[in-house]
Structure 1
Amino acid sequence: MKLFSLLFICLVSTLSFAQSKLAKTAINKLNEQLKVYETLSPHGDLYHYKDLKLSKIELLVFEGTDEVVNDSIESYAAISIIQDKISKLLNTVFIIKSVEEFNLKNQLYSNINYIKSEDNKLHNLTLHAKSGGSYQSSLSYIYYKKNEEYIKVFETYDEDENSVFNADGYYSIDTISSREGTKYLLIGSVRTCGMCFYDYVSLVYFKDGYFNQEFNFSVESRSYDSKIFYNPSEFALSVFYETDDLNYHECSCKETNNEEDVDYEEDIKEKQCSCLFIFNGLTFELTNQCSEAVIEKE
């Protein structure tokens, strides 16, 4: 009996060591591709396949196209193929549960942002999309631990019109317990032009194999400053912003504003706006209507 117990302990230790080694290898391969990705620019010229750490076999996918010039490929093709490799490696990292072997925040290369929920179930990774325009889009990858396995529930380029997730990802995840189970408050933002900023927040939950959206709010403005704040101790969601042409010069705590409501013949006075939403056990409800204060022009 003692011998059997000893053999069992040795087997478990060996498997654990092998799993840890496999997890670390997957992370190292991912970081290698992230470092390659950092060197790429949508405005770049040609990239040699060796600099991209690609094999000639991997280049065959572009055979007969304009993307390949001798042993080099065009910038947008290089970005696309490295993005695809990063996506597949992220799947591997989560399939073999590297996230449970290591703290990914301390393991991943610096050009990818990683956040996770307090219950360690919902994970979001975001990476600059290198789209080349003034819209500073991101690639977002979202994984969720269902039972004991991780499933990918969202990827930007796989986005469908019914998705509850924003294509540009998030910078914070808060976990909220409710009468219906665990819900997640997701907050993000994206620069949509030189001086255009879009901030958004959603409350989502997983049920019957899918994520559902309970609440969402967004605001567009010319201000770079953060506009959406969550206080977990008071379950309070606050929004602050100044009016301008992107939000039709109106304070509103509704999901959308209507440009038809604006009378441009009047002398438009910009305002400071605020909204307060409180979690009621199921969703966030507006408790303090949008307040307005005219911004005095100097």
Structure 2
Amino acid sequence: MYDHVHTEKLVDQWLIEDVGNGDLTANLIIDAAASTTFDVNAREDMVVAGIEVMATVFRRYVPGVSIDIRVQDGARVAKGTVLARVSGQARGLLTAERTALNILQRLSGIATETARFVAAIAGTKAQMIDTRKTTPGLRALEKHAVLCGGARNHRLGLDSGVMLKDNHIAVCGGISQAVARAKAAVPILAKVEVECDRLDQVREALEAGADVIMLDNMSLADMRSAVAFIDGRVPLEASGGVRYETIRGIAETGVDFISSSKITQSAPAVDIGLDEAV
């Protein structure tokens, strides 16, 4: 889902941010010729995402580094699992350590939280999807982490599809007018989704030819009514106010997709450490 060339450019920016003119601590106390080996250890149960991105950080900064990756993205691992072993110049490994762990902890945190939400709706027809509420500059990587956690991606960006939200509809003068304008010129493979917060809007969106309808902040009762009315004619996405505590009930209304920023914007980083190999 992410491009390796683009990722290397991001890694360079991260290293410039953290290293600055040089790692004062490592350069002062670590001999330039010293080498060492570290294990990247999971310090809690998690779903892994970003293992190759972590490796890219070390490869960009440490000449001749050797990296033995023990798990792949999407793997569910237990506390104490060795995710990778890195060997090479001690100074470079210590300098790049924080940057490498930061991105691995962040992406694995998203994958782990996503997997928790996906498990909560197991057995229903609903699929978990993400949103555009991602960290600026990290969208492709964070959406990759969502995939690792077992969910699907929504739009990757504004150019991925048409989403008619309340403000678009208000400026256009109504749902029918907005859909008609979009349908007249939208690329043939792109879908038009309409955000609705009332049942009468759902009826209007269907009549106007929407490809997907979002049920925004609706009650469970209204969601069930919308599902019954649509009767499978177009996919329904539930969004707004989705939390871990509420997602099961939403899924049981019969909607096709549930989107939430909680799996990206609010996901806590997991605990991963770089420890001397034994």
Task: Give the TM-score range, shorter chain.
Answer: under 0.3
Q: Which has the higher strand share?
A: 1
Ranked by relative contact order (alpha carbons within 8 Å, sequence separation 6 or more), the top structure is 2
TM-score in terms of structure 1 length: 0.26
